């Protein structure tokens, strides 16, 4: 989940006064398409095979390289690494551990790894993503809200309309959740089936408003559905920072089951599913 898992091979370096021709030979000999340019022990730039191809072989590396490359620490999450590359419009990041150059991570490697963590139906991340976020926040002792969202009576949707239609409902509901989530404060993933999990660092009033909204019946694809939400509040749970994330997730799941049962008791029926 961290970029240090994606570092490919050893770091190959070159000094800035060398020729581009020499750089091309070095790349061929080392079997690499990237050279880190180091000037008197300081990282000065990065040179790729594309830079070499677009430069005259007699030019020096300092003229062909990309100066001041973006560096990140090895413990940064891979999804954050992709955001950094997108923001800077680059295809590689240098991984620097203190004063030590640990390696290079490419956009392609990050995208391949992220594709393994994504749910193919909704495009949301899967369990390892939210677990990594939760454990990192707990380690920093940063409180958050953990929400376990479970659609009510979704089995009836599949029975009445079929699984392809059910998938359409899941996708539409996931988009509703994603539309509410803000990138700077919320982390959302599909737990499985009709269940979703969100970590939020939003204000308590904002989270309470979201829970009320998502608990009310919603019209999705000509079907009215609602969700039960289990909420573990990091500002009120006395054992919050001593509780393993797995246990916290189990508690949120049980609370969603209780919310589902309370909703059924109040409505006097088996749920809130009905055709529009």
108 and 202 within one domain: no
The CATH number linked to 80 is 3.10.580.10
Q: Is the pLDDT of residue 266 over 60?
A: no
105 and 227 within one domain: no
Between 212-216, 232-236, 245-249, the lowest mean confidence (pLDDT) is in 212-216
Determine the average pLDDT of the residues in 200-219. Answer: 90
158 and 138 within one domain: yes
Question: pLDDT band at 263, cuts 50/70/90?
Answer: low
123 and 93 within one domain: no
Work out how many domains the chain is built from and give that number: 2
Which of 114, 140, 161 marks a domain boundary? Answer: 114
- pLDDT recorded at residue 230: 95
- What is the DSSP secondary-structure string of 139-207? HTT---EEEEEEETTHHHHHHHH-HHHHHHHHHHHHHHHHHH--TTTEEEEEEETTEEEEEE-S-HHHH
127 and 255 within one domain: yes
Determine the average pLDDT of the residues in 49-64. Answer: 93
261 and 127 within one domain: yes
Please, are residues 95 and 4 in contact by the beta-carbon 8 Å criterion?
Answer: yes
Alpha-carbon distance values, 101 to 15, 88, 113 (Å):
15, 20, 22
Its pTM stands at: 0.75
Question: pLDDT band at 208, cuts 50/70/90?
Answer: very high
Give the range with max mean pLDDT: 58-62, 79-83, 209-213: 58-62
Q: What is the residue-averaged pLDDT of the chain?
A: 88
Q: Is the pLDDT of residue 191 over 70?
A: yes
Please, are residues 110 and 86 in contact by the beta-carbon 8 Å criterion?
Answer: no
Tally Cβ neighbours within 10 Å of residue 273.
19
Which of 55, 81, 114 marks a domain boundary? Answer: 114
90 and 51 within one domain: yes
Give the range with max mean pLDDT: 79-93, 122-136, 244-258: 244-258
- Give 89-101 pLDDT, tens digit per residue: 888 888 888 878 8
252 and 140 within one domain: yes
Q: Is the pLDDT of residue 239 over 70?
A: yes
Q: Is the pLDDT of residue 117 over 70?
A: yes
Q: Is the pLDDT of residue 136 over 50?
A: yes
DSSP-derived 3-state class of residue 79 = helix
Please, are residues 205 and 258 in contact by the beta-carbon 8 Å criterion?
Answer: no
Q: Is the pLDDT of residue 275 over 90?
A: no
Which residue range forms the structural domain that includes residue 18?
3-114
Rounded Cα gap, residues 114 and 116, in angstroms? 5
226 and 166 within one domain: yes
Q: Is the pLDDT of residue 271 over 70?
A: no
- pLDDT recorded at residue 7: 80
37 and 105 within one domain: yes
Determine the average pLDDT of the residues in 144-171. Answer: 92
Which of 78, 94, 114 marks a domain boundary? Answer: 114
54 and 163 within one domain: no
Q: Is the pLDDT of residue 255 over 90?
A: yes
138 and 109 within one domain: no
Q: Is the pLDDT of residue 165 over 60?
A: yes
The CATH number linked to 204 is 3.30.70.270
Q: Is the pLDDT of residue 267 over 60?
A: no
């Amino acid at each position: 989940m961290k970029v240090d898992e994606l570092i490919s091979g050893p770091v190959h370096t070159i000094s800035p006064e060398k020729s581009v021709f020499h750089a091309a030979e070095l790349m061929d000999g080392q079997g690499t398409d990237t050279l880190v340019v180091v000037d008197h022990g300081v990282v000065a730039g990065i040179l790729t095979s594309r830079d070499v191809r677009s430069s005259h072989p007699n030019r020096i590396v300092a003229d062909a390289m990309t100066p001041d490359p973006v560096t990140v620490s090895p413990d940064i999450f891979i999804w954050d690494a992709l955001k950094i590359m997108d923001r800077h419009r680059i295809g590689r990041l240098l991984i620097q551990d203190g004063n030590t150059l640990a390696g290079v991570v490419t956009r392609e490697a990050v995208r391949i790894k992220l594709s393994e963590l994504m749910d193919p139906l909704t495009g949301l991340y899967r369990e390892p993503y939210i677990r990594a976020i939760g454990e990192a926040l707990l380690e920093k002792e940063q409180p958050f809200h953990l929400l376990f969202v479970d659609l009510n009576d979704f089995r009836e949707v599949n029975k009445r309309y079929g699984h392809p239609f059910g998938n359409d409902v899941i996708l539409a509901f996931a988009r509703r959740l994603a539309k509410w989530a803000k990138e700077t404060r919320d982390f959302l993933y599909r737990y499985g089936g009709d269940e979703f999990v969100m970590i939020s660092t939003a204000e308590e009033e904002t989270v309470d408003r979201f829970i009320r909204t998502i608990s009310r019946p919603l019209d999705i694809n000509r079907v009215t559905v609602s969700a039960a939400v289990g909420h573990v509040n990091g500002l009120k749970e006395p054992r919050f920072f001593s509780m393993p994330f797995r246990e916290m997730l189990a508690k949120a799941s049980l609370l969603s089951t209780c919310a589902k049962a309370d909703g059924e008791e109040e409505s006097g029926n088996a749920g809130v599913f009905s055709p529009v």
